Structure 1
Amino acid sequence: MPFIDIKVIAGVFTDEEKRRLVEDVSEAAIAVEGEALRPATHVVITETPSGGWAIGGKPLTSEDVQAKRASG
């Protein structure tokens, strides 16, 4: 059964954006796996505390990610 874990930094995405992530990722997976597996397709959003996620040894905060979103 498909299980999709979306990991994000806490405080970056609104509840509405997280809902859209769950819906859109679910639909993408179901398009590949087939409609019969819709009831068995699980999606979870796991939020990591700000500063608890690092890339290249540099911890990222929610402010860092929000600044990247704003610049793009």
Structure 2
Amino acid sequence: MPLVDIKLIEGVFSEEEIKKLIKDVTDVVVSFMGEDLRSYTLVVVQEVKSGSWGVGGQAIGLEEVRAIQAGTSKKP
């Protein structure tokens, strides 16, 4: 059975956006594996506490993600 595990920084996406993500990811998996596996496809979304996520050796949080989304972050 397909299992997709998605980790996100807490607060980046709304509940509605997470629901859409789950639906859309399921649709992609089914497009590859066949419609019969839809009811067996598991998508788990885990939110990680802001600041408990590291990229390139640096902890980042919600503020940094918002800057990336806005295109205003300073890239290393």
| TM-score, normalised with respect to structure 1 | 0.94
What is the correspondence of 1:1-72 to structure 2 with a 5 Å cutoff? Answer: 1-71=1-71
Uncovered stretches (5+) of structure 1, i.e. residues with no partner: none
Structure 1 vs Structure 2: percent identity of aligned residues?
A: 43
User: How much does 1:16 deviate?
Assistant: 1.1
- 2:15 and 2:48 map into 1 onto residues whose CA distance is 15
User: How much does 1:20 deviate?
Assistant: 1.0
| TM-score, normalised with respect to structure 2 | 0.90
Partner of 1:11, secondary structure, is: coil
- 1:53 and 1:39 map into 2 onto residues whose CA distance is 32
Q: Which amino acid aligns with 2:36?
A: A
Uncovered stretches (5+) of structure 2, i.e. residues with no partner: none
User: How much does 1:66 deviate?
Assistant: 1.1
- 1:19 and 1:4 map into 2 onto residues whose CA distance is 14
Q: Supply the RMSD in Å over aligned alpha carbons.
A: 1.1
Moved over 2 A (4+): none
Partner of 2:45, secondary structure, is: strand
User: How much does 1:56 deviate?
Assistant: 1.0
